Protein backbone atom coordinates (compact mmCIF):
# COMPACT_ATOMS: atom_id res chain seq x y z
CA UNK A 1 0.00 0.00 0.00
CA UNK A 2 1.09 3.55 -0.69
CA UNK A 3 1.94 5.84 2.19
CA UNK A 4 2.98 9.03 0.41
CA UNK A 5 1.32 12.34 1.18
CA UNK A 6 -0.79 14.01 -1.51
CA UNK A 7 -2.07 17.58 -1.44
CA UNK A 8 -5.40 18.06 -3.25
CA UNK A 9 -6.35 21.65 -4.10
CA UNK A 10 -9.84 22.06 -5.58
CA UNK A 11 -12.55 24.55 -4.63
CA UNK A 12 -15.35 22.10 -5.48
CA UNK A 13 -15.93 20.29 -2.21
CA UNK A 14 -17.59 17.30 -3.89
CA UNK A 15 -14.63 16.81 -6.22
CA UNK A 16 -12.14 17.36 -3.41
CA UNK A 17 -13.90 14.77 -1.25
CA UNK A 18 -14.07 12.26 -4.11
CA UNK A 19 -10.36 12.57 -4.84
CA UNK A 20 -9.61 12.22 -1.15
CA UNK A 21 -11.69 9.02 -0.96
CA UNK A 22 -9.95 7.50 -3.99
CA UNK A 23 -6.49 8.35 -2.70
CA UNK A 24 -7.10 7.25 0.88
CA UNK A 25 -8.52 3.92 -0.32
CA UNK A 26 -5.19 3.40 -2.08
CA UNK A 27 -3.31 4.16 1.13
CA UNK A 28 -2.20 7.75 0.50
CA UNK A 29 -2.25 10.40 3.20
CA UNK A 30 -4.36 13.28 1.89
CA UNK A 31 -4.23 16.97 2.75
CA UNK A 32 -7.11 19.03 1.32
CA UNK A 33 -7.26 22.72 0.41
CA UNK A 34 -10.07 24.63 -1.28
CA UNK A 35 -8.31 27.57 -2.93
CA UNK A 36 -4.86 28.43 -4.20
CA UNK A 37 -3.79 30.54 -1.26
CA UNK A 38 -4.73 27.84 1.24
CA UNK A 39 -3.10 25.25 -0.99
CA UNK A 40 0.21 27.11 -0.97
CA UNK A 41 0.03 27.39 2.83
CA UNK A 42 -0.72 23.68 3.19
CA UNK A 43 2.15 22.88 0.84
CA UNK A 44 4.62 24.49 3.24
CA UNK A 45 2.89 23.09 6.32
CA UNK A 46 2.77 19.46 5.17
CA UNK A 47 5.50 19.07 2.51
CA UNK A 48 3.51 16.63 0.31
CA UNK A 49 5.10 14.15 -2.07
CA UNK A 50 2.72 15.13 -4.88
CA UNK A 51 0.12 17.83 -5.55
CA UNK A 52 -3.12 17.66 -7.54
CA UNK A 53 -4.31 21.14 -8.51
CA UNK A 54 -7.53 22.43 -10.06
CA UNK A 55 -7.24 25.46 -12.36
CA UNK A 56 -10.42 27.47 -11.82
CA UNK A 57 -10.28 28.67 -8.21
CA UNK A 58 -11.01 32.02 -6.57
CA UNK A 59 -8.07 34.28 -5.75
CA UNK A 60 -4.88 32.44 -6.65
CA UNK A 61 -5.82 30.11 -9.50
CA UNK A 62 -4.24 26.77 -10.26
CA UNK A 63 -1.80 28.11 -12.82
CA UNK A 64 -0.33 30.58 -10.36
CA UNK A 65 -0.20 27.95 -7.62
CA UNK A 66 1.59 25.55 -9.96
CA UNK A 67 4.14 28.22 -10.83
CA UNK A 68 4.76 29.19 -7.20
CA UNK A 69 5.23 25.59 -6.07
CA UNK A 70 7.57 24.88 -8.97
CA UNK A 71 9.73 27.87 -7.96
CA UNK A 72 10.56 26.20 -4.65
CA UNK A 73 10.07 22.46 -5.19
CA UNK A 74 10.48 19.70 -7.76
CA UNK A 75 7.65 17.47 -6.44
CA UNK A 76 5.30 16.03 -9.08
CA UNK A 77 2.39 18.33 -9.94
CA UNK A 78 -0.75 17.04 -11.65
CA UNK A 79 -3.21 19.61 -12.96
CA UNK A 80 -6.81 18.37 -12.99
CA UNK A 81 -9.17 20.77 -14.69
CA UNK A 82 -12.34 21.20 -16.69
CA UNK A 83 -10.33 23.54 -18.97
CA UNK A 84 -9.35 21.18 -21.75
CA UNK A 85 -8.28 23.51 -24.54
CA UNK A 86 -4.80 22.96 -25.96
CA UNK A 87 -3.75 26.45 -24.87
CA UNK A 88 -4.67 25.59 -21.27
CA UNK A 89 -2.70 22.34 -21.38
CA UNK A 90 0.30 24.10 -22.90
CA UNK A 91 0.18 26.79 -20.23
CA UNK A 92 0.00 24.26 -17.40
CA UNK A 93 2.89 22.20 -18.73
CA UNK A 94 4.93 25.32 -19.42
CA UNK A 95 4.48 26.42 -15.79
CA UNK A 96 5.94 23.15 -14.56
CA UNK A 97 3.10 20.63 -14.30
CA UNK A 98 4.17 17.04 -14.89
CA UNK A 99 0.74 15.98 -16.13
CA UNK A 100 -2.49 17.71 -17.21
CA UNK A 101 -5.75 15.79 -16.89
CA UNK A 102 -9.17 16.95 -18.04
CA UNK A 103 -12.28 16.40 -15.92
CA UNK A 104 -14.15 14.14 -15.67
CA UNK A 105 -11.62 11.39 -15.03
CA UNK A 106 -12.03 7.91 -13.60
CA UNK A 107 -10.51 6.84 -10.33
CA UNK A 108 -8.36 4.08 -11.83
CA UNK A 109 -6.71 6.40 -14.33
CA UNK A 110 -6.10 9.11 -11.74
CA UNK A 111 -4.51 6.65 -9.33
CA UNK A 112 -2.36 5.24 -12.15
CA UNK A 113 -1.15 8.73 -13.04
CA UNK A 114 -0.38 9.50 -9.39
CA UNK A 115 1.49 6.23 -8.97
CA UNK A 116 3.50 6.77 -12.16
CA UNK A 117 4.45 10.33 -11.21
CA UNK A 118 5.59 9.26 -7.74
CA UNK A 119 7.50 6.31 -9.15
CA UNK A 120 9.39 8.54 -11.58
CA UNK A 121 10.22 11.00 -8.82
CA UNK A 122 11.80 8.21 -6.76
CA UNK A 123 13.88 6.68 -9.53
CA UNK A 124 17.60 6.89 -8.74
CA UNK A 125 19.85 8.19 -11.47
CA UNK A 126 20.48 5.36 -13.90
CA UNK A 127 23.31 7.04 -15.76
CA UNK A 128 26.73 5.49 -15.49
CA UNK A 129 28.63 8.79 -15.85
CA UNK A 130 28.02 11.54 -13.32
CA UNK A 131 28.00 14.27 -15.95
CA UNK A 132 27.84 15.02 -19.66
CA UNK A 133 29.13 17.90 -21.75
CA UNK A 134 29.38 18.50 -25.47
CA UNK A 135 30.51 22.11 -25.45
CA UNK A 136 26.97 23.49 -25.58
CA UNK A 137 24.87 21.38 -23.23
CA UNK A 138 26.21 20.12 -19.91
CA UNK A 139 24.29 17.90 -17.48
CA UNK A 140 25.07 17.05 -13.88
CA UNK A 141 23.20 13.78 -13.47
CA UNK A 142 23.66 13.62 -9.71
CA UNK A 143 22.37 17.13 -9.04
CA UNK A 144 19.84 17.08 -11.91
CA UNK A 145 21.22 20.38 -13.19
CA UNK A 146 21.55 21.58 -16.77
CA UNK A 147 23.83 24.21 -18.27
CA UNK A 148 23.69 25.69 -21.76
CA UNK A 149 26.74 27.55 -23.06
CA UNK A 150 28.01 27.79 -19.50
CA UNK A 151 24.82 29.22 -17.98
CA UNK A 152 22.57 27.22 -15.69
CA UNK A 153 19.07 26.81 -17.15
CA UNK A 154 15.91 26.15 -15.17
CA UNK A 155 14.21 22.99 -16.42
CA UNK A 156 11.07 21.37 -15.08
CA UNK A 157 11.53 17.76 -13.92
CA UNK A 158 9.92 16.51 -17.14
CA UNK A 159 12.10 18.74 -19.32
CA UNK A 160 15.21 17.51 -17.50
CA UNK A 161 14.28 13.85 -17.91
CA UNK A 162 13.51 14.45 -21.59
CA UNK A 163 16.85 16.16 -22.24
CA UNK A 164 18.78 13.55 -20.24
CA UNK A 165 17.16 10.70 -22.18
CA UNK A 166 17.92 12.30 -25.53
CA UNK A 167 21.50 13.05 -24.52
CA UNK A 168 21.98 9.45 -23.41
CA UNK A 169 20.74 8.34 -26.84
CA UNK A 170 22.52 11.09 -28.77
CA UNK A 171 22.88 10.46 -32.45
CA UNK A 172 20.00 7.98 -32.38
CA UNK A 173 16.48 8.62 -33.61
CA UNK A 174 13.98 8.09 -30.79
CA UNK A 175 10.24 7.92 -31.45
CA UNK A 176 7.57 9.89 -29.60
CA UNK A 177 6.36 6.61 -28.10
CA UNK A 178 9.86 5.80 -26.79
CA UNK A 179 10.09 9.23 -25.19
CA UNK A 180 6.61 8.94 -23.71
CA UNK A 181 7.29 5.49 -22.25
CA UNK A 182 10.70 6.43 -20.85
CA UNK A 183 10.06 9.99 -19.62
CA UNK A 184 6.39 9.91 -18.64
CA UNK A 185 6.18 6.21 -17.82
CA UNK A 186 2.44 5.92 -18.44
CA UNK A 187 1.08 4.69 -21.74
CA UNK A 188 -2.37 6.32 -21.60
CA UNK A 189 -2.76 9.86 -22.77
CA UNK A 190 -1.75 12.09 -25.62
CA UNK A 191 1.62 11.88 -27.32
CA UNK A 192 1.15 15.61 -27.99
CA UNK A 193 2.78 16.14 -24.57
CA UNK A 194 6.07 15.04 -26.13
CA UNK A 195 5.72 17.63 -28.89
CA UNK A 196 4.91 20.41 -26.43
CA UNK A 197 7.83 19.60 -24.15
CA UNK A 198 10.24 19.34 -27.08
CA UNK A 199 9.11 22.85 -28.04
CA UNK A 200 9.72 24.19 -24.51
CA UNK A 201 13.09 22.46 -24.34
CA UNK A 202 14.20 23.98 -27.62
CA UNK A 203 13.43 27.46 -26.29
CA UNK A 204 15.87 26.83 -23.46
CA UNK A 205 18.74 25.08 -25.26
CA UNK A 206 18.68 26.21 -28.90
CA UNK A 207 20.17 29.50 -30.06
CA UNK A 208 17.30 29.72 -32.54
CA UNK A 209 14.35 27.48 -31.57
CA UNK A 210 12.85 28.02 -35.02
CA UNK A 211 15.98 26.50 -36.60
CA UNK A 212 17.06 23.84 -34.08
CA UNK A 213 20.56 22.40 -34.40
CA UNK A 214 20.63 20.17 -31.30
CA UNK A 215 17.16 18.62 -31.03
CA UNK A 216 16.36 17.62 -34.57
CA UNK A 217 12.94 16.53 -35.83
CA UNK A 218 13.06 13.42 -37.98
CA UNK A 219 9.76 13.73 -39.81
CA UNK A 220 7.43 10.80 -39.48
CA UNK A 221 9.70 9.10 -36.95
CA UNK A 222 10.65 11.19 -33.93
CA UNK A 223 13.63 13.22 -32.72
CA UNK A 224 17.41 13.02 -32.55
CA UNK A 225 19.81 14.83 -30.24
CA UNK A 226 22.72 15.90 -32.44
CA UNK A 227 25.79 17.04 -30.46
CA UNK A 228 27.62 19.99 -31.97
CA UNK A 229 30.69 19.26 -34.03
CA UNK A 230 33.97 19.69 -32.15
Domain count, the chain: 2
Compute the distance between CA of residue 94 and CA of residue 196 in angstroms, rounded to an integer: 9
Q: What is the CATH number of the domain that holds 177?
A: 1.10.10.10
Which of these three, 122, 151, 180, is where a domain ends? 122
pLDDT computed for residue 35 by the predictor: 93
Name which of 62, 114, 64 is nearest 83 in CA terms. Answer: 62
Query: Is residue 180 in a domain?
Result: yes
Which of these three, 102, 122, 142, is where a domain ends? 122
Beta strands in 93-197 (DSSP E): 99-102, 131-133, 137-140, 145-148, 151-153, 173-175
Q: Are residues 101 and 149 in the same domain?
A: no
Query: Is residue 62 in a domain?
Result: yes
Range of the domain at 197: 131-225
> Please, what is the angle between helix 157-168 and helix 107-122, to 10°?
60
Compute the distance between CA of residue 186 and CA of residue 91 in angstroms, rounded to an integer: 21
pLDDT computed for residue 73 by the predictor: 83
List Cα–Cα distances, 72 to 118, 138, 173, in angstroms: 18, 23, 34
Q: Are residues 112 and 139 in the same domain?
A: no
Query: Is residue 230 in a domain?
Result: no
pLDDT in tens, the chain (230 residues): 568 999 999 999 999 999 999 999 999 999 999 999 999 999 999 999 999 999 989 889 999 999 889 877 888 999 998 887 888 888 888 788 888 898 889 999 999 999 988 887 776 555 456 789 998 999 998 788 899 999 999 888 888 989 999 998 999 999 988 888 778 765 445 677 888 899 999 999 999 999 999 999 998 889 999 998 76
pTM of the model: 0.62
Amino acid sequence: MANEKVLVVDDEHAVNDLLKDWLEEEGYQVVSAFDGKEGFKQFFNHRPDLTIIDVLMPGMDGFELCQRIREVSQIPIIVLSAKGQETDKVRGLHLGADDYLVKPIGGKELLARVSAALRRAKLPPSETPSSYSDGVVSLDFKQHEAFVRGDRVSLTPTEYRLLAYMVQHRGQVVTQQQLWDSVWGWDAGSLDSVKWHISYLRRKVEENPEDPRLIITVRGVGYRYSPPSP
